[in-house]
């Protein structure tokens, strides 16, 4: 089971391999996830039920979140797409979470899975760095024609997809490295991988990801090492980054570029929809219709690029509240000192907290959950917190 879990984490980008089974759209990642869930279910026993019951209030929050998502599917203006999202972004990742809970006995068993996740992220980053100089597999619109900056995508479809994937993982693995957590026998391996990931993240030119990772690691370092040991090194690293002309140019744009203006327009449309229907929002996969109804003339996107609006619009008010409750309960679990010795190693707890913090921060300007790989990764970290 651990090997299968490791394989799923290593192959998160295989959601891009899309096909149909009996007319039902699916992805290779979904197939792997379902296999893992079925194998775990076939091995379930009374102890498994006890483990699930011990999750307490988290089960209640998850139940409300799932129920809200089902209601949002029913009211969706595009029920076909909504059913696909319900399956791939809600039901399967949550079942994956429960499958991990009943299959993995201790955090020590996560080591193999974490190593494979790290290796996969490093290789994806390496390909992105090679792409920056060779343009291999780089969509033409990101080549940097005219005044635009060349932005890498690696094996993903667009730069922000790579940034959303790498950002929380950089925070997670950097925290493990700074905490001297021995993921590999040689410590240089994790630092080399982090250099690749950070380099690739820089070349996505995703300012939201830059800011989220910087703030996430800064807050972690201050809480873990103290302000005196953190501020000067942090300022030094930030100044080095700003010394790079393309990075400085991207930062100085602020919100004056076309992309930022479009995102602000989407947020306004989302807020207006919430004002009009604060309880139900627009239903799963309903934001495209919301934009059309608002006679939006820009590019039609799936979400308004704000984590609170994303969940409020897509899953309704109860969906937003229940998801925030899931976040809050996870934070409480991370900070809970009354756990049995060995059950909650400090480095993994801290790394999981940084992961969630970066997801939340980046979510203020993007969509850090409503994507196949991101939802599976989110619920994996939740399982890591609760085991």
> pLDDT value at position 251?
64
| Residue 26, C-beta contacts closer than 8 angstroms, at least 6 positions apart | 18, 19, 20, 88
pLDDT surpasses 50 at 340: no
Domains of the chain, by residue range, sit at: 2-386
Asked if pLDDT for residue 344 goes beyond 50, the answer is no
Residue 301: count other Cβ atoms within 10 Å of its Cβ: 15
Lowest mean pLDDT, pick from 68-72, 265-269, 299-303, 364-368: 299-303
pLDDT at 90 over 50: yes
SS3 267: helix
Give residue 254's pLDDT.
58
Instruction: Quote the mean pLDDT of the chain.
Output: 89
Can you tell me the mean pLDDT for 139-160? 87
Q: What number of helices (H) and strands (E) belong to the chain? A: 17, 2
Q: What is the pLDDT, as a whole number, of residue 297? A: 82
Sign of the four-CA dihedral 202, 203, 207, 213 = negative
Q: Name the percent of the chain lying above pLDDT 70.
A: 91
pTM for this structure? 0.91
**Which has the closest alpha carbon to 318: 57, 75, 55, 61?**
61
For residue range 186-220, list pLDDT tens digits in order: 889 999 999 999 999 999 999 899 999 999 998 88
């Amino acid at each position: 089971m651990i090997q299968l879990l490791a394989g799923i984490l290593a192959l998160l980008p295989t959601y891009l391999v899309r096909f149909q089974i009996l007319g039902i759209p699916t992805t290779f990642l979904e197939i792997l996830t379902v296999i893992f869930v079925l194998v775990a279910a076939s091995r379930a026993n009374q102890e498994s039920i006890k483990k699930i019951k011990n999750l307490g209030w988290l089960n209640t929050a998850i139940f409300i979140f799932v129920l809200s998502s089902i209601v949002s599917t029913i009211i969706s203006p595009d029920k076909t797409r909504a059913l696909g999202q319900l399956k791939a972004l809600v039901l399967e990742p949550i079942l994956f979470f429960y499958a991990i809970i009943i299959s993995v006995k201790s955090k020590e068993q996560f080591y193999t899975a974490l190593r494979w996740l790290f290796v996969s992220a490093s290789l994806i980053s390496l390909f992105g760095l090679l792409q920056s100089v060779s343009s291999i597999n780089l969509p033409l619109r990101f080549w940097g024609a005219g005044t635009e900056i060349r932005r890498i995508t690696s094996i993903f479809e667009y730069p922000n997809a790579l940034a959303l994937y790498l950002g929380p993982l950089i925070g997670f693995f950097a925290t493990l490295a700074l905490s001297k957590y021995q993921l590999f026998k040689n410590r240089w391996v994790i630092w080399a991988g982090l250099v690749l990931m950070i380099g690739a993240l820089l070349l996505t030119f995703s300012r939201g990801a830059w800011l989220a990772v910087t703030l996430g690691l800064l807050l972690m370092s201050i809480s873990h090492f103290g302000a005196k040991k953190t501020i000067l090194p942090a300022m030094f690293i930030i100044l080095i980054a700003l010394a790079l002309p393309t990075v400085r140019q991207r930062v100085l744009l602020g919100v004056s570029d076309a992309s930022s203006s479009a995102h602000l327009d989407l947020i306004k449309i989302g807020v207006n929809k919430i004002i009009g229907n604060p309880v139900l929002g627009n239903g799963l996969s309903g934001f495209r219709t919301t934009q059309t109804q608002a006679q939006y003339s820009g590019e039609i996107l799936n979400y308004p690029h704000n984590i609170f609006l994303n969940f409020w619009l897509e899953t309704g008010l109860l969906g937003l509240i229940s998801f925030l409750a899931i976040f809050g309960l996870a934070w409480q679990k991370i900070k809970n000192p009354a756990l049995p010795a060995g059950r909650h190693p400090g480095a993994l707890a801290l790394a999981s907290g940084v992961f969630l913090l970066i997801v939340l921060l980046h979510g203020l300007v993007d969509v850090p959950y409503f994507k196949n790989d991101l939802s599976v990764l989110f619920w994996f970290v939740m399982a890591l917190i609760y085991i």
